[in-house]
Amino acid sequence: MNILLKSATISAPSNTSIHNKKRDIHIKNGKIEKIASRITPANGTKEIKLDNLHVSIGWFDTSVSFGEPGFEERETLENGLKVASKSGFTDILLNPNTNPIPDTGSDIVFLKNSANSTITNLHPLGALTVKSKSEALAELFDMQTMGAVGFYDFKKPISNSNLLKIALLYAQNFNGLVFSYPEDVAIKGKGTVNEGEVSTRLGLKGVPALSEELQIARDLYVLEYTGGKLHIPTISTAGAVKLITEAKKKGLDVTTSVALHNICLTDSELESFDTSFKVKPPLRTTKNNKALLKGLLNGTIDYITADHRPIDIEEKRVEFDNAAYGTIGLESAFGALNNLIGLEDTVNCLTKGRARFNIPLPQIEEGVLANLTLFNPDGEHTFNYDNILSKSKNAIFLNRKLKGKVYGSINNDKMVLNV
């Protein structure tokens, strides 16, 4: 690959000499050869000229699901990684919710090998317990040796407190990261949506905030006892933000994330009984959204995620109680977040946090491998079916106004553009 990005506004807060400056960027054989105000292309160099082109280091998402192996009708690894790269994400954590569930070293090798020649780097999560049944620990050390970056029973809480204790103690031997989904199943019961005025009026079974907060409180008590590294994915309540804030003040090694739709949307969307809005954790209230947004911007919440989860049409076009949870979100993530918090905070949220998972942080400087996202932060558009790149179409942001456009990404000596 031999390309020249012309007049790109560079977003690189750690490098003040080029941050928010317009520069030409010459990339050859996967490396950034030169950054300058004006570069005259040599023969054989492909010039890339795009309207209001902006460039940052490649974006990163901590919660992405596809389908393969086992659920290829939802999404394949090949197309899912293509969706990620076209949406600007050059690194993703892949959730362990396939069939079979990846709970051995060989499963991790299969997933890594499936992404050998892709633009987007796939970083697999292994199951915490065998078949994610929350009964016995899986082969954690072997999986980490083969490339797993953490251990997670996807969207399944660890009901056995002693199992969480043992996992945190054991994983310290090899600096492993334990995930614990925040849900008390007894409190949740048969609930599917946020417990409140909307659920009561619509006659839908509610999930109280207590279900999430009680589990988080337990997890943090166990973490304080054992030590180790804990990640609590996709919190959704103001009380959860408060608990994480207090834990970090104590010095506990805990991180957390929030799904983008849990900041942008509320349970008022449920009035239509549209199963696109059936997600886990559920959409909650404006009060919770404001607390989550504040927590994200002040650093209490470490990551924002699209929580991308393709679901085929047969599992969504059913009665609300019987519909599967989940929404796709990679394609709409930048536009929705940029519309909510503006460019600088958006780029910060989409690029930070790789170190937690031992993933190298890209840089924009001469002589390093190019790992870049190309985008235009301006312009409003309505997200519609034509913008969906995934095999599944369960998009929670469908028909909503988004801001900006992703042009594509560059990584691993490859480039993909949406133009």
Question: What are the residues whose beta carbons fall under 8 Å from the beta carbon of 199, sequence distance 6 or more?
Answer: 191, 193, 205, 206, 267, 270
CATH of 2-55+364-417, one of 3.30.420.40, 3.40.50.300, 3.40.630.180, 2.30.40.10: 2.30.40.10
* pLDDT at 50 (0 to 100): 97
Question: What are the residues whose beta carbons fall under 8 Å from the beta carbon of 63, sequence distance 6 or more?
Answer: 93, 95, 233, 234, 257, 259, 305, 306, 307, 308
Under the banding of pLDDT at 50, 70 and 90, the label for residue 112 is very high
Average pLDDT of 330-348? 97
Average pLDDT of 45-59? 97
pLDDT of residue 275 exceeding 90: yes
pLDDT tens-digit map of 131-183:
999 999 999 999 999 999 999 999 999 999 999 999 999 999 999 999 999 99
Q: Where are the domains of the chain?
A: 2-55+364-417, 59-357
Structure tokens at 100: 């079979």
User: pTM of the entire structure?
Assistant: 0.96
Is there a common fold for 2-55+364-417 and 59-357?
no
pLDDT of residue 14 exceeding 90: no
Average pLDDT of 21-34? 97
Question: Shortest CA distance to 254 belongs to which of 287, 227, 288?
Answer: 227
Average pLDDT of 306-335? 97
307 catalytic? Reply is yes
Average pLDDT of 392-399? 97
Give CA–CA dist 220/111, Å, rounded.
31
- In the predicted model, what is the mean pLDDT of the chain? 97
Return the higher-pLDDT residue of 292 and 41: 292
Average pLDDT of 391-411? 97
pLDDT of residue 419 exceeding 90: no
Average pLDDT of 304-320? 96
Structure tokens at 296: 């994200």
Q: Let me know: does 128 contact 153? Beta carbons within 8 Å.
A: yes
Architecture category of domain 59-357 in CATH: Alpha-Beta Barrel (3.20)
Instruction: Kindly state the percentage of the chain with pLDDT values over 70.
Output: 100
* pLDDT at 208 (0 to 100): 98
Which of 103, 307, 312, 378 is flagged as catalytic? 307
Give CA–CA dist 132/111, Å, rounded.
17
Q: Let me know: does 23 contact 8? Beta carbons within 8 Å.
A: yes
Average pLDDT of 175-200? 97
Residue/partner pairs of 299-302 with CB below 8 Å, 24 or more apart: 300/241, 300/244, 300/245, 300/248, 300/256, 301/235, 301/241, 301/244, 301/256, 301/257, 301/258, 302/255, 302/256, 302/257, 302/352, 302/353, 302/356
